[in-house]
Structure 1
Amino acid sequence: MSDNDGKKTLGLGVGGPRSGNVKQSFSHGRTKNVVVETKRKRVVVPKVAAPKAAGAAGGSGMVSAGMAGKRPAGISDAEMERRLKALQAAKLREADEIAQREADERERAEERSRRRAEMEAKEREQREAAEAAKAKAEEEERKAAEAAAAKVVAEAPAAAAASPAAESSPRSAAPRSAAPSPNAPRKAEREREERGRGVKTRDDAGGRRAGKLTLNQALSGEGGRQKSMAAMKRKQERARQKAMGGSATREKVVRDVQLPEAIMVSELANRMAERVGDVVKALMNNGMMVTQNEAIDADTAELIIEEFGHRVVRVSDADVEDVLTKIEDKPEDLKPRPPVITIMGHVDHGKTSLLDAIRKTKVVSGEAGGITQHIGAYQVTTDNGAVLSFLDTPGHAAFTSMRSRGAHVTDIVVLVVAADDAVMPQTIEAINHAKAAKVPMIVAINKVDKPNANPTKVRTDLLQHEIVVEQMSGEVQDVEVSAHTGQGLDDLLEAIALQAELLELKANPDRAAQGAVIEAQLDVGRGPVATVLIQNGTLRQGDIFVVGEQYGKVRALINDKGERVKEAGPSVPVEVLGLNGTPAAGDVLNVTETEAQAREIAEYREKLAKEKRATAGAATTLEQLMANAKANESVSELPILVKADVQGSAEAIVQAMEKIGNDEVRVRVLHSGVGAITETDIGLAEASGAPVFGFNVRANASARQTANQKGVEIRYYSVIYDLVDDVKAAASGLLSNEIREKFIGYASIKEVFKVTHVGKVAGCLITEGVARRSAGVRLLRDDVVVHEGTLKTLKRFKDEVADVHSGQECGMAFENYDDIRPGDVIEIFEREEVERNL
C-alpha cells in the first residue's frame, strides 16, 4: 500500500493537463456538461542519496556523509527516509490543492464573463427591438398624418363645388375624389402598401364607419393585455390633433393638493391626479427609493408637488377635528331645558338616600357596603310638572376625580351635609369642586330627624369655607331635610326649581347632538355601553358619533327607567349602545355626518393618546435618563394590574394607587381597564410579577386556568377601600426596616497597654450601663467621634467575657484600630430593626 492511501500521485516528470467533465445546474431544471482541463504544476523534489554500507561494528546501515551532516542526531536512516517520503507526499497534496483552486477560480471567472456577455447581448437585443418598434410607430404616425393631410387637400375643392341639393342631403353618395389632386397617385400608392401590410383603409372598411372602433375590433386582438376603449379613443384624438396641426398634449390642470405631515406615495399621486409610476420615478430622481405603499414626509412631498406643477396646501392631522367646530346657536333657536343637578357631600351623609327618597325607589340597597360605586344619572318629575336631571356622585375619597367631572357637567350643586356630623373633609372637597366649576350651590342639611342633629353648627362651619347661607344673611339657599322621614323634600325641590329659573337654562334641540359621558362599561351581551348626558341638540337612533378615542352608530337609546327611546334631547341622561370600544368617563360625544369622519377623528385621537403615553413614559435626553436612573436606584416598586366593571372605578383606583408610597416605595399600575380579567392580563401580570385586582369583575375560565398554571394571584373586591388597604399593606412590606440605635453604656480609658500579638489594649472603667462583646462601639475624643467599629476583645482579669457592668474595670481592644489614648471615652450601643408602615 502506498503512502498516499491508494490515491494516484502526480509524477515528477509529468506537467501536462488533466481533463474531466463537470456537470453545471441552472434554473428550471436545466443542466450542462462542461469539459475542464486542470494543469498541474511540476514539483521538483531533491533526490535522496542511497545509504552506504556501514562497518560490522555498528550493526546497521548508515546514510551518506552529506545526509548524516544534515540529519538531527538520534534519527535512523529508515526514520529519515520515511520523513522525506511524507514530506514529498505533503508537497504533492499541496500542489494538487493549489492547482484545483486555480482551476475552480478560472472556471468561476469564465462563467461570470459568459453570463455578463449573455446579459449584455440580451439587453442589446431588447434595446434594438425597442428602437425598432419606436421607429416603426413614428413612421406609421408620419404616414397617417400625411394621408390625413392629403385627404383634407383632396376634399377641399369637392366640398366647394358641391350642389345645394347635395348639401341638403349629407348622406348622398357623391364621390369624394371628384376633383383629383396632384397628390392622388402618391395616395393610391400608399393605400396599396397599407393593403399589402393588412391595414384597413377608409374605403375598405366601408365609408365613414371605418375610423370608428367597435367592441368586436377591441376584443379581437390576440395575445397580451388589450387596450381599453378609453385608451383607444385617446390615441385617435391625439392622431386627429396631429393631423390638424394641433398640439397632442392636453392643457395641464393645476390642482390645490392638501398635504398632511406624512402621506403615502399612492395617496399623493391620487391627490395630484398623476400616475403612481411617475411619482415614484420623480422620487427616485430625488434620491428616494420608495414604493407606492411607503409614507414620505411633508417636505419631500412638497418638492414633488411643485415639480409636477401643482399648488401645496399644508394641513395638520388635527384638521380632521375641524368638522366638530362649535356651532353658534341663534337666540331664536334656543328653548328651555331641564336643569342638571349634582348631589355632593361626605361619605355616608345620605346623598343616595336623599335621591332615593325623591325618586321613591331603593337605589342604596344595591350598593356594596351602602356606598355608591358609580355615577348614576336619573330624571325626576316634580308634583308641579318640572323635570329635573340628577347626577349622584360617589362620596368616597377615592372618587375625587369622578366627583370633579360631575361638577363640570352640572348646572346646580346640592351639597348634602349631615346635621349630626357637620362639615367633613370630603364636604370641603365638594365645595372646592363646585367653586371651580362656578355653579350655584344649595345646602341640604340632612338627618335633621336624629336626636343629636345640630343644623346651626353646620351653617356655622360652612362660614369657614366662605359659604354663607340665607339664614346667616347670605345668598346660598339652605334646606333642612330628612331622607328617612321625607321632611323638607318639597322645599328642596322648590329651591332647585327657583334656582333653575334664575339661571334661565336654554339649549338648541334642533342641531347635531353633543353630550358628556357620565359612565362607561363593558356589558356582557350588549357590548360597550356609555351613560351620556346630552348637553346640546338631540341624539337619535341611527346617528353616527365620535366619543373620545371611540366611534359608533347609535343602535339603541335606553333611559333611566330602562325603557328604549327613539331620541334624547338636552339635559336627558341615556345609555347609548353601538360603540366600537369603551370610552373614558368625561369624554365628549359629538355627532358627525359620515362614519368615515368619525373613524378618522377617533384614529387621530388614539394616535395622539399613544404618543402622549409614550412621551410621558420615556426620558427624552441622556441627562433625563441618568437622572431617572439615579432617582429610581433606591425606589422599590409594587406593580399591579387593575380591572374594574366601569371606567370611573378604574380611574379612581389608579388615582388612589398613585397616592400610596413615599421616597422608598411606590405602587405602579401596569394596566387598568374595563371588563373581565382575560388571559392577556394574566400574561402581562406573569411577565411583570404583579398581582391582578378585580373590582366587581371576575376572571374568565381560561384566565383562571392560566393564572393557576403560572402562579399569578387574582384578588376580587367589591368595596374600594378594602382594595386600597390591602395594596397599602403589601407596599409596606417593601419598606426596609428602620435601624434604631440604643445606647447601653459608656467606658472611660484609664491606661493604654501594648500587648504582644494583640496590639494596644485600653484599660477601661465602665462608668455607665454595660459593655457587651457583640455591641457596636465609638471612640470619643473631646466629645468628637474619631472611630466607629467593633470590639476585638473584651477581657476581665485576663479572661474573655461576654459583658462587663457599671463600676467594673476591663480591657478593650478595637478591630483594626490602635490610636487610643488615656482620657478617651468609649460609647457602647446596640442596633435594632423596627418595621415601618405607610
Structure 2
Amino acid sequence: MSDTDGKKPLGLGGGTRGPGQVKQSFSHGRTKSVAVEVKRKRVVVPQKPGGAGGAGGSSHSLGDPSKRPAGISDAEMERRLAALRAAKAREADEAAQRAADEKAREEERQRKREELEAREREERERAEAAARKAEEEARLKAEEDAKAKREAEIARRAANAPARVAAATATPGSPADEQRPTPNRPAPANTVQRKAEREREERGNNRARTGDEGRRAGKLTLSNATSEEGGRQRSLAAMKRKQEKARQKAMGFGQKAEKQVRDVQLPETIVVQELANRMAERAADVVKSLMKMGMMVSMNQAIDADTAELVIEEFGHKAVRVSDSDVEQVIDTVVDSEENLLPRAPVVTIMGHVDHGKTSLLDRIRKANIATGEAGGITQHIGAYQVKTPSGQLVTFLDTPGHAAFTSMRARGANVTDIVVLVVAADDAVMPQTVEAIHHAKAAGVPIIVAINKMDKHSANPTKVRTDLLQHEIVVEAMSGDVQDVEVSAHTGMGIDKLLEAISLQAEILELKANPNRDGMGAVVEAKLDVGRGPVATVLVQNGTLRKGDIFVVGQKWGKVRALLNDKGETITEAGPSTPVEVLGLNGTPSAGDVLNVVPTEAQAREIADYREQTTKDKRAAAGAATTLEQLMAKAKADLNVAELPVIVKADVQGSAEAIVQALEKVGNEEVRVRILHYGVGAITDSDVGLAEASKAPILAFNVRANAMARSSAQQKGVEIRYYSIIYDLLDDIKKAASGLLKAEVREHFIGYAQIKEVFRITGVGNVAGCLVTEGVARRSAGVRLLRDNVVIHEGTLKTLKRFKDEVKEVQSGQECGMAFERYEDVRAGDVIEIFERETVERTLA
C-alpha cells in the first residue's frame, strides 16, 4: 500500500499540475514522505507572425487573434504587452540596484574588517614591544645580578687566598702541593685545561639562565612569586594605568580634595552613627577606630564624650563640648521680621462660672448643639472651634469648663488666647469661678469682653452684674470704662451680632499677625488616648504652618504628623496660625499645656524628648532627696493618725484627669485624706486592676470603661470600679467617703449588655435600635448607657422596649428586641447598650 492510502493527493491549486513529494516531520522525530501535486506557472508568450513567439510593437505582432482570450482587442493586448515590458525593465533595475547595494555593503564590511585587523595588529605590536622591553629589562637585571655574584665570589676567594697559602706552606710535600703552581714552577697542563673548562661551563650556565629569565619575565609562576630576587612584573594594564595617572596629574586632574576640618558638637553621650554623621565620615570607619581602641560597639550604641573626643581627634576634626540642654537649640526661636508677618484670626476664650451659658452661647454662634453631648449638660473638656462670622472673618473659639475643679483648664485657655469673653448670667451676677476667670485673664494680660447672658429671663438684672464687676476692677463701657460689654441671650440669639462686632473691633485694635511661612508651633489644649487612633492631641497652632509629615516634639513626647483633623472632623493637609486641629502620630499622650515645636529630624526630636524626660526624673529625685531624715520622721509620725483613701483615676482626656487629681488632693483634713496612686487616660486595663488589687484601692473611671479582660479580672479579684460621667458626683462621693459622712452609697449593678445590629426610623417614634441581648437581661425600668468604643456617649432611660410588636418589661439573653432612648436618637449600628440598676447600700468608712 502506498503512503497516500488511496487518498486524494494534496494539491497547490491552479496552473499545470505535476507529481512531487514533500517530507513531513513530526515532533517525536519520525518523518514521512507525502505525495503532492506541484503547480507550475503558465507563461503566455505572444506569437510572432509566422508562428514565432515574441512581442512586437505593431498590430501585426500581437499574435494570432484566434488564440487570444475572448473580448480582448488589439489595443488592450498592446497595453498588456507594454505593462509586461515595463515590469521586466523594473525587475531588471531592481536587481541591478540590489546588486549595487550588496556590493556597497560588502565593501563596507571589508573596510571595517580591515580597520579592525589593523587596530588589532597595532595593539599586538604594542604588546609585543612592551613584552620585548620587559624581557630586555629582565635580561639586563639578570646579567647585573650574575656579575654582582661573580664579583662577590672573586672577592671572597681573594679574602681566603692568604689562608690557603699558609696552609700550603705548613704542609709541604703534600700531593696537592705538587700540583699547585708556584712562581718558579709553571702549573701543569691538565690543571690549566680543567680551569678553562670550568669557566666555559659557568659562562654557558649563566647564559642559559639569563635567557630563560628574560623569556619568562612577563609570566607569573609560583617560584617567581615566592622568590626574593625576582618578583611579579607589572602587567601591561598596570603600566597603562600608571601612564594615565601621570598624564592626569600633569594636567591637574584627579587631585584628591583636601580634607575638611569640622567643628563637631559633642554632648555627654552620643550614638556612633550620629557621631559619624556630624563628622561626615563613614560609620564603619568610626566603628573600626573604636575597635582599635578596644571597644566592641556597633553603630547604634552610645559612647561617652571622652571616647568620642578621641575619635574626633583621630579623624582630624575638632570637638566642641556642649551641655545636654543645648539639644533644644534646634527649635527655631528666631524672631520674625515685620515684612514676614501676615494677619491671623483672633483666638477667643469663653470663660465664666458653671451654668452661666458659655457653651450655649457658643452653640448659638456655631449653630450647633454641643451641650447635649456633655454629661449633665456641663462642659468638662476644652473645646476648640473655628467659626466664620457673617462679615467673613474667621474667629477661633476655646470653650473652657466652669466647674471649680477645672482651674488649670481655664488657666491654659487664658494663656493661649488673644481675647477673653467673660460670660456672666444676668440673673446670677458674679460668682466664684467668674472671679477666678478674671484673675486668669489679668495674669495672661489679655483684653476682656463681658457678655451678659440670659437677658431673656424676667429676673435678669444687667445693672447688678456691671456693679459687681466694679469690685474686681472691671469697668465696662456702660459705666464709662474701657471694657466692652454686650447684652446677649443664647436662647433667643439676641445680641450675638453685637458680640461678634465687639470681637472684630478688639481684634483690629490688637493687630494680630503671625508668620505662616515657617515651621509650625502651637500649644496643646487637650490630649487623650483614643481607641483605634492612639494618642490624640488637640493643638492650637500659634505660629507657622503645621503640615502632614512634619516631625515634632511636644513636652516629653515626640512624633510625626500622621493626620490632621479640623473641628468638623475633616482631614486636612496643613494648619496655619490660629487653627485648632487634632494631631495623630504621637508616641505617647502629652500633657495639656505643652508646647509643640517642629524639628528637622526624627533623631533630634527623640533626643529632645529623652532629655526632657530625664530632666523631669532628675528634678523629682532631687526633690525627694532634699527631704531630710527629720522631716521624714515627722511626716511618718503625723501620718499615724491620718487615714488615707487610696484611689486610682482613669479619665477620657488628659485635662479631665489632671483636674480630678487636683480636686482630689484638696479633699481631706487632718484626719483623712485622699491618696492618688495612679492616674492616666484611656480605658481601664488589666494592669490597673492588678494595681488596685495590690493596694486595696477603688478605680474611679471618668467617662471611660474597662475592657472585657479588665472587667472579668476585676470581678474575679473583687476590685471595685466606680463609673462617673459628671465630676460633681465623683467629688461629692469621694468627699463623703473620705469624711465618713456617707450614710448610704448608690451602687450600680450591671444586669445586661445589648449589641445594636440595625437602626430603624419609625414615624412618630424616631430612631429605634434593633438589638441583640448578649449578656444578662434588659429591663424596661433599668437605666441604660450608650457605649461607643468603650466611651460613654449617652446615659438615660428607655422610652420603649419591644419584643416583636409587644411592649415587654424585660428581654432575656440571646433574644432580639427593639429599644428607643428617651430624648436621644444618635444611635449607630455596632454600639453597645449597657443596662444597669442602682441600689442604695448603707456602709461605713473602714
TM-score, reference length from structure 1: 0.58
- What residue number does 2:536 align with? 529
Percent identity between the aligned chains? 70
Deviations 1:63-93 (A, max 9, x none): xxxxxxxxxxxxxxxxxxxxxxxxxxxxxxx
Residue 46 of structure 2 corresponds to: none
Distance 1:539 1:306 in 2: 40
- Counterparts of 1:637 and 1:290, CA distance in 2: 50
Partner of 2:661: 654
Shift of 1:665: 2.9
Q: Which secondary structure state, in structure 2, belongs to the residue aligned with residue 199 of structure 1? A: helix
Distance in 2, Cα, partners of 1:333 & 1:291 = 46
Q: 1:331 to 1:275 in 2, by over 3 A?
A: closer
- Structure 1 counterpart of 2:324, from 302, 305, 317: 317
Deviation at 1:508, TM superposition (A): 1.2
Q: Cα deviations across residues 708-767 of structure 1 (Å, max 9, x unaligned)?
A: 2222111000001211112222222499xxxxxxxxxxxxxxxxxxxxxxxxxxxxxxxx
Question: In 2, distance between residues paired with 1:338 and 1:253?
Answer: 49
Partner of 1:484: 491
Distance 2:499 2:644 in 1: 49
Q: Which amino acid aligns with 2:482?
A: E
Matched residues in 1 for 2:459 and 2:730: separation?
33
Work out whether 1:499 is the aligned partner of 2:540: no
Distance apart, 1:549 and its partner CA: 2.4
Q: 1:525 to 1:282 in 2, by over 3 A?
A: closer
1:641 deviation in Å?
A: 0.9
Question: Matches of 1:728 and 1:295 in 2, distance apart?
Answer: 51
Query: Is 1:385 aligned to 2:392, yes or no?
Result: yes
Q: Confirm or deny: 8 A CA contact 2:224 2:231 kept in the other structure.
A: no
Given that 1:732 and 1:836 are in contact with CA atoms closer than 8 Å, whether structure 2 keeps it comes out as: no
Q: What is the identity, as a one-letter code, of the residue corresponding to 1:184?
A: D
- Which residue of 2 is the match for residue 184 of structure 1? 145
What residue is the counterpart of 1:809 in the other structure?
none
1:208 aligns with 2:214: no
Match of 1:431 in 2: 438
Q: Does the alignment pair 1:573 with 2:584?
A: no
CA distance in structure 2 between the partners assigned to 1:630 and 1:421 by the alignment: 47
DSSP-derived class of the 1:518 partner: strand
Q: Which residue of 2 aligns with 1:667?
A: 674
Partner residue in 2 for 1:553: 560
Find out whether 1:348 has 2:355 as its counterpart: yes
Query: Residue 489 of structure 1: CA displacement?
Result: 1.2
Q: Which moved further from structure 2: 700-709 or 204-213?
A: 204-213
- How far has the Cα of 1:319 moved from its partner? 2.4
8 Å Cα contact 1:665-1:734 kept in structure 2: no
Closer/same/farther in 2, CA of residues 695 and 270 from structure 1, 3 Å limit: same
Residue in structure 1 matched with residue 225 of structure 2 by the alignment:
199
Q: Distance in 1 between matches of 2:271 and 2:600?
A: 26
Counterpart for residue 440 of structure 1: 447
Residues 213 and 410 of structure 1, relative CA distance in 2, 3 Å threshold = farther
Question: Which secondary structure does the structure 2 equivalent of 1:712 belong to?
Answer: coil
1:223 maps to: none
User: Residues 503 and 210 of structure 1: is their aligned pair in 2 closer, same or farther, counting only changes over 3 Å?
Assistant: closer
TM-score by length of 2: 0.57
1:562 and 2:566 are equivalent in the alignment: no
Residues 1:713 and 2:720 aligned together: yes
Contact 1:265 1:280 in 2 (8 A): no
- Which one-letter code corresponds to 2:603 in the other structure? A
In the alignment, the residues of structure 2 paired with residue 171 and residue 734 of structure 1 have an alpha-carbon distance, to the nearest angstrom, of 115
Q: Which runs of 5+ in 1 are unaligned?
A: 1-164, 215-232, 238-249, 736-834
Of the three residues 676, 681, 685, the one matched with 2:683 is 676
SS in 1 for 2:225: coil
Contact 1:269 1:276 in 2 (8 A): no
- Matching residue of 1:798: none
Shift of 1:180: 3.6
342 and 269 in structure 1: CA distance in 2 versus 1, 3 angstrom threshold:
closer
Match of 2:403 in 1: 396
**Which residue of the partner structure matches residue 372 of structure 2?**
365
Relative to 1, partners in 2 of residues 1:337 and 1:266: Cα closer, same or farther, differing over 3 Å?
Answer: closer
- Pick from 683, 703, 706 the counterpart of residue 696 of structure 1: 703
Counterpart Cα distance in 2 of 1:291 and 1:702? 41
Alignment correspondent of 1:731: 738
CA deviations 1:234-278 (Å, max 9, x no partner) are: xxx9xxxxxxxxxxxx99997645332235689779978766576
Measure the CA separation in 2 of the matches of 1:383 and 1:266.
Answer: 56
Q: Which has the larger radius of gyration?
A: 2
Aligned pair in 2 of structure 1 residues 702, 510: CA closer, same or farther (>3 Å)? same
Tell me the amino acid that sits aligned with residue 208 of structure 1: S
Amino acid at match of 2:460: A
Superposed displacement of residue 479, structure 1? 0.9
In 1: Cα distance, 2:277 partner to 2:538 partner? 42
In structure 2, distance between residues paired with 1:660 and 1:673: 19
* Residue among 400, 415, 418 paired with 2:422: 415
Question: Take 2:286 and 2:540, find their aligned partners in 1: how far apart are those partners?
Answer: 50
Tell me the CA shift for residue 325 of structure 1: 2.3
Q: 2: CA distance between counterparts of 1:836 and 1:367?
A: 32
Alpha-carbon distance in 2 for matches of 1:563, 1:278: 53
Letter in 1 for 2:477: E
Match of 1:134 in 2: none
In 1, distance between residues paired with 2:294 and 2:418? 58
Bigger shift: residues 552-561 or 701-710:
552-561
Alpha-carbon offset, residue 678 of structure 1:
0.1
User: 1:702 deviation in Å?
Assistant: 0.6
1:452 aligns with one of 459, 478, 500? 459
Cα distance change on mapping 1:496 and 1:704 into 2, 3 Å: same
Displacement of 1:636: 3.2
CA-CA distance at 1:561 after TM superposition:
2.0
Letter in 2 for 1:508: N
Task: Say how many residue pairs are matched.
Answer: 536
Give the distance between the partners of 1:363 and 1:293, measured in 2 at CA: 50
Match of residue 604, structure 2, among 576, 597, 606: 597
| Structure 2 equivalent of residue 56 of structure 1 | none
Question: Quick one: distance in 2 between partners of 1:515 and 1:416?
Answer: 26
Contact 1:636-1:734 at 8 Å conserved across structures = no
Distance, in Å, in 1 between the alignment partners of 2:599 and 2:298 is 34
Deviation, structure 1 residue 485: 1.5
Letter paired with 1:413: V
CA distance in 1, matches of 2:575, 2:689: 40
Q: Indicate if the aligned counterparts of 2:224 and 2:232 stay in contact, CA closer than 8 A.
A: no
CA distance in 1, matches of 2:399, 2:428: 20
Q: 1:293 to 1:497 in 2, by over 3 A?
A: closer
Please identify, of 585-594 and 692-701, the stretch whose mean Cα deviation from structure 2 is larger.
585-594
1:620 deviates by: 5.9
Q: C-alpha separation between the residues in 1 aligned to 2:360 and 2:299?
A: 64
Distance 1:252 1:504 in 2: 52
When residues 199 and 631 of structure 1 are mapped into structure 2, their CA distance, relative to the original with a 3 A threshold, is: farther
Structure 1: distance between partners of 2:240 and 2:667:
82
Cα pair distance change 1:309/1:560, threshold 3 Å: closer
* Residue pairs, 1:260-279, within 5 angstroms: 260-263=267-270, 276=287, 279=290
Question: In 2, Cα distance between the equivalents of 1:421 and 1:316?
Answer: 56
List runs of 5+ in structure 2 lacking aligned partners.
Answer: 1-121, 150-208, 246-256, 743-842
Does the C-alpha gap of structure 1 residues 539 and 312 become closer, same or farther in structure 2, counting only changes over 3 Å? closer
Q: Distance in 1 between matches of 2:439 and 2:712?
A: 47
Change (3 A) 1:383 1:304: closer
1:12-42 superposed Cα distances (whole Å, 9 cap, x missing partner): xxxxxxxxxxxxxxxxxxxxxxxxxxxxxxx
Q: Secondary structure of 1:581's partner?
A: coil
